[in-house]
C-alpha cells in the first residue's frame, strides 16, 4: 500500500512518526518493483490536502475490508470453535434429555400406584407357567437354560418333558414359548416382580384336571405330551385363563403405562388362544384316541370345569355351544369365546387362583401350583 494512503483514524504526522521509529520495517515493506526514486517519493510525508480524493477512497477501501489472517499454528479453515452461546445451548439440551430419561424411568417404575404394581405382577404366575410349558413341550428345555435370569432362582418345574409333536405344531409352540419369555421380561421392566413359583407340569397334573372335567378317571390317564391333539387340548387349559385375567385387570389399572403394558400382553395372549382354538376347531369332530370323546367335547368339559371352579358364572366356552350362546344367537360354532356382544370375558385374581389351584378356593393351593402362586395378591389369600 502506498505511503500516501492514510489509515482509518490516523493522521499524516502519526504515519511519519511511525516511519521514524521503524526505518528497517519500512524498508522491508518496499515492493521490489519500485525504483529508488519512487520509494523516496512514496516515503515522503505529504499534507492531507495534497492527497487526491481517489487516493483517499482507495486507502479507505483497502483498510476497511482487509480481513486479518488467523494466527493459529494449525489453522483448519473448515473448523470453527463453538461459541459460548452454542455451548450453553448444547448443555441445556443434554441436561433436558437426561432429565427426561430419568423422569420416564421413575414414572414407569416407582410412581405407579401400588394397586397397579400388584395387578401387573400377578400375571407372572401364569406367564411362568406358559413359558415353561411351551418351551419344554417344543424344545425339551426351559427358562433355566434359555433365560435363567428371568426365573430369578425359583425352583425348576416338576415333570416337564418334550412332547411328541409334528413339525408344524412344534414350530407354533416354539414361537409361543419365546413370546412368553418376552412377556415376563416386559412385566419385569415395569415392576420388580418375583421369582418363578413351583410349577407341577407333569402328565399326572394334567390327568387330574381331565378326570375332574369328566368327573370320572380316564383310562388310560390323559397324557398331554403324547401327540399333537393331546398337547393342544392341554394348551387350551391355561392361555385363555390368562387372557381373561388381563381383561379383568385392565379397568382397575390407573396408570396409562400399566394399561399400555396390559393391552400389549392381552393382544398376543388372545392371538395365542385363537391359534390354539383354530387348530382344535379343525379337528372338533375327531375323537381323541383312545377315548370315545371328540375334541369339541373335551373343550366343553374343560370350560365347564373352569366355570365351576371360578364360581362366577359363565366365563368359559368350548368350541361348540348351544345356539343361544353363539354369536348373535345364530350359530353353534365357537372358534372364539365371547359374551353376548362377542366381547372377551374378564376374571379377577381370586377366580384365576381358584381355577389354577384346581381347588375352587383361592386360599387352598394345589394343582399346577403346589406351593401357591407368588406375589402380593396370591400370598394375601394364601395367608388367610
Find cell 387352598 and name the residue. 364
Task: Please give the C-alpha separations between residue 320 and each of 97, 303, 336, in angstroms, as whole numbers.
Answer: 55, 11, 10
DSSP secondary structure letters along 217-232 = --SSPP-TTSSHHHHH
Contact 137, 165 (CB under 8 A): yes
Residue 380: predicted pLDDT: 94
Residue 222: predicted pLDDT: 98
Find cell 343361544 and name the residue. 324
Low-confidence ranges of the chain (pLDDT < 70): 1-86, 93, 96, 98-110, 383-384
Give dist(CA 298, CA 52) in Å, integer: 115
Residue 90: predicted pLDDT: 72
Residue 161: predicted pLDDT: 97
Residue 30: predicted pLDDT: 39
Residue 5: predicted pLDDT: 43
DSSP secondary structure letters along 188-253 = HHHS---PPPP-B-SHHHHHHHHHHHHTS--SSPP-TTSSHHHHHHHHTTSHHHHHHHHHHHGGG-
Residue 7: predicted pLDDT: 43
Give dist(CA 252, CA 247) in Å, integer: 10
Gyration radius (Cα) of the chain, Å = 42
Give dist(CA 349, CA 193) in Å, integer: 16
Count of C-beta atoms within a 10 Å radius of residue 181: 18
Residue 111: predicted pLDDT: 85
Give dist(CA 150, CA 152) in Å, integer: 5
Contact 287, 294 (CB under 8 A): yes
Residue 52: predicted pLDDT: 58
Cell numbers given for 72: 493459529
Q: Who contacts 40 (Cβ-Cβ below 8 Å, separation ≥6)?
A: none
Count of C-beta atoms within a 10 Å radius of residue 70: 9
Amino acid at each position: 500500500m502506498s505511503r500516501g494512503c492514510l489509515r482509518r483514524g490516523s493522521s499524516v504526522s502519526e504515519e511519519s512518526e511511525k516511519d521514524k521509529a521503524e526505518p528497517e520495517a519500512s524498508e522491508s515493506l518496499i515492493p521490489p518493483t519500485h525504483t529508488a526514486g519512487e520509494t523516496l517519493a512514496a516515503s515522503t510525508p505529504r499534507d492531507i490536502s495534497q492527497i487526491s480524493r481517489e487516493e483517499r477512497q482507495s486507502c479507505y477501501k483497502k483498510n476497511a475490508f482487509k480481513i486479518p489472517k488467523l494466527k493459529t499454528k494449525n489453522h483448519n479453515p473448515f473448523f470453527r470453535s463453538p461459541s459460548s452461546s452454542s455451548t450453553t445451548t448444547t448443555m441445556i439440551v443434554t441436561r433436558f434429555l437426561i432429565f427426561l430419561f430419568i423422569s420416564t424411568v421413575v414414572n414407569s417404575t416407582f410412581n405407579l400406584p401400588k394397586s397397579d404394581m400388584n395387578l401387573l405382577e400377578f400375571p407372572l404366575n401364569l406367564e411362568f407357567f406358559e413359558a415353561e410349558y411351551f418351551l419344554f413341550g417344543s424344545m425339551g428345555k426351559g427358562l433355566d437354560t434359555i433365560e435363567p435370569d428371568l426365573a430369578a432362582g425359583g425352583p425348576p418345574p416338576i415333570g416337564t418333558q418334550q412332547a411328541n409333536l409334528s413339525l408344524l405344531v412344534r414350530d407354533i409352540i416354539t414361537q409361543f414359548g419365546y413370546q412368553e419369555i418376552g412377556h415376563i421380561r416386559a412385566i419385569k421392566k415395569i415392576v420388580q416382580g418375583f421369582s418363578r413359583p413351583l410349577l407341577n407340569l407333569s402328565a399326572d397334573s394334567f390327568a387330574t384336571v381331565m378326570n375332574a372335567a369328566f368327573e370320572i378317571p380316564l383310562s388310560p390317564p390323559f397324557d398331554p405330551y403324547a401327540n399333537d391333539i393331546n398337547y393342544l387340548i392341554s394348551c387350551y387349559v391355561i392361555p385363555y385363563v390368562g387372557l381373561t385375567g388381563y381383561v379383568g385387570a385392565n379397568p382397575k389399572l390407573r396408570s396409562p403405562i400399566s394399561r399400555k403394558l396390559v393391552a400389549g400382553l392381552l393382544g398376543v395372549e388372545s392371538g395365542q388362544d385363537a391359534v390354539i382354538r383354530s387348530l382344535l376347531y379343525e379337528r372338533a369332530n375327531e375323537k381323541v384316541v383312545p377315548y370315545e370323546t371328540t375334541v369339541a367335547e373335551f373343550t366343553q368339559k374343560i370350560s365347564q370345569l373352569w366355570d365351576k371352579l371360578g364360581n362366577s358364572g359363565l366365563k368359559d366356552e368350548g368350541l361348540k355351544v348351544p345356539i343361544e350362546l353363539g354369536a348373535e344367537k345364530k350359530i353353534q360354532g365357537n372358534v372364539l369365546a365371547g359374551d353376548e356382544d362377542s366381547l372377551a370375558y374378564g376374571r379377577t385374581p381370586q377366580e384365576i387362583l381358584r381355577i389354577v389351584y384346581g381347588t375352587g378356593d383361592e386360599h387352598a393351593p394345589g394343582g399346577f401350583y403346589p406351593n401357591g402362586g407368588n406375589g402380593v395378591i396370591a400370598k394375601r389369600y394364601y395367608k388367610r
